Amino acid sequence: MSEPADGAPPSGLELTVTERDMWEAFRTGTTLDRRSPEPGRNDPAGADTWGPERSVRARIVALLLLSGPPPRPGRVAALKLNGLQITGTLDLSGGTVSPYVEMHNCRFEQQLLLPESTFTTLRLVGCAIPRVEAARIRTEGDLHLPRCQVQHGIRLTDAHIGTDLLLNQLVVRRDRRGLSIAADGMTVGQDLQAEMMRSHGELSMRGATIGASLSLRGSTLNNPYGRRALNAPQLTVERTVYLTSAGLGYARYASGATPPYGIATGTQGSARMRRFECLGGARLDDGRFGDAVDLSEARFVMEADQELSLRRVQTPELRFLGERQQRGRVVLSGARVVNLVDRYDSWPGPGGLAMAGFSYENLIPLGPFPLARRLDWVAAATPEYAPEPYERLASALRASGEDAEARQVLLAKQRRRRETLPPAGKAWGYLQDWTVAYGYRPGRAAVWMAVLWALGAVYFSMHPLPPIKEGEGPVWNPELYTLDLLLPVIDLGQGGAWRPGGATQWVVAVLTLLGWILATTVAAGASRLLRRQ
């Protein structure tokens, strides 16, 4: 093969007419467009055969990108193709591609090999590709794959994308390992947009880092072949994760509407809305999200053994506003959020929620969420009694100034605990509940004391007692005598001056016992209040 002169293609390449046109378009940075005037023949994933007039060899494309000719004077070299077929395997493994690359509506005959390659910017738009193998790829700018169709998966393991990764309306199917997109350890400098995407298999982003936001608005993740449709533990997103609806009129968020990061202010305003759907389990364990995790209108369809797992995630705001799933579990164990924005009908029923160690500071319900339903929410998360969810809820209510509701929550906690006690403990618990509501309603003790005092005073006024010693002791006073019996600690000088007999002895014993019970329950309740439980 002879050396080229003045940027002309080497004579030994025997370029076709289309390839010569591509060579010249590369030198001038213009687009080579070979689309048919018949729109039905331009679908890269269609069944129509594209002849030589629409085909270029992969090795010629690689030659242009890795060691192409210089640009024409005053122009910038770039590879821009539209409506062409790349035959053979385009292998750029380990190479450094300096020219700008943009391909629209192209058909790749074989997989695209880009592992450990370096690009400035790579844009593949609306292309049909059997597979994209791009582990450890590096780009200074963007990597775009919008509206592409990839039949056997995309591998972006440990990739480094300098600015944005764009996967909008991508359709990708699983590889031999069941993965649609393998992006473990990937780093994206700014946004990862995968809106209206269709993923058939497992989307894996374990340990990935996103420099701004991650948007899966309107996407469908479907994995009937495995346990999870989304597997992204230890994911770090500097701003917000959007697992929300997309389309005209999709919900927008007002910064500062809810301190410190805002909540949804828009609603579904168009019939063209498409919600985020996850058909299979989703795992975001140990994730760190700088602004929020937004699940507004999200739909999770899981089997009984699958989970939406948010274990130990940390984020200033969790917007749990999706559709209630019918099977599977939501797991928030160990998660830490500042604002919990939720709706009652978004949470699963009993057995479908686990939140041991779930920490939140502020409750921001959208729509009616009365305390009775909030207690049902806690009960759904604790099929077996656990005190921590009740105490966390009471703490959040107290922090917002709802002291009365906080006491009701702690009373409900004691009643749940009572059911776990042996018979003697249950009996004592019922007694504390009836008398002073475990100390959270201390006014009950005063009512009981007043009732017993009145009954005792009436009884003793009708049945005066003889003195122990005639001519000694105080003047008979039925009211003071009854009060002396009911107050076990204070001595009013009445109890030891009179001698009860017959049935009156039993009345005295009962009043004394009830006085001790009231005093003990009040003391137990006061102890709980002092401990702020």
Q: Give 494-503 pLDDT, tens digit per residue.
A: 766 777 777 8
Greatest mean pLDDT among 3-17, 68-82, 491-505 lies in: 68-82
pLDDT attached to residue 5: 55
* pLDDT single digits (tens) 202-235: 999 999 999 999 999 999 999 998 999 999 999 9
Q: CA distances (Å), 215 to each of 157, 266, 286, in order?
A: 19, 17, 19
Q: One-letter amino acid identity for 79? A: L
pLDDT of 431 > 80? The answer is no
Output the average pLDDT for the chain: 86
Secondary structure tally for the chain: helices H, strands E: 9, 42
pLDDT of 7 > 90? The answer is no
% pLDDT > 70, the chain: 87
Residue 253 per-residue DSSP state: B
The mean per-residue pLDDT over the stretch 337-360 comes to 93
The mean per-residue pLDDT over the stretch 504-522 comes to 76
The mean per-residue pLDDT over the stretch 62-69 comes to 94
The mean per-residue pLDDT over the stretch 323-334 comes to 94
The mean per-residue pLDDT over the stretch 27-44 comes to 93
* pLDDT single digits (tens) 147-194: 999 999 999 999 999 999 999 999 999 999 999 999 999 999 999 999
pLDDT of 398 > 50? The answer is yes
pLDDT attached to residue 32: 97
Burial of 520 from C-beta contacts in 10 A (0-12 / 13-18 / 19+): middle
CA pair distance 333, 303, nearest whole angstrom? 20
pLDDT attached to residue 380: 86
Compute φ and ψ for 25, nearest 5 degrees. -65, -35
CA pair distance 29, 339, nearest whole angstrom? 51
pLDDT band of residue 463 (cuts 50, 70, 90) is confident
Greatest mean pLDDT among 334-338, 368-372, 414-418, 424-428 lies in: 334-338
pLDDT attached to residue 141: 95
pLDDT of 313 > 60? The answer is yes
Helix 371-381 vs helix 387-399: crossing angle, to nearest 10: 150
Burial of 502 from C-beta contacts in 10 A (0-12 / 13-18 / 19+): exposed
% pLDDT > 90, the chain: 58
pLDDT attached to residue 1: 44
Q: Of 365, 184, 196, which is closest to residue 283 (Cα–Cα)?
A: 184
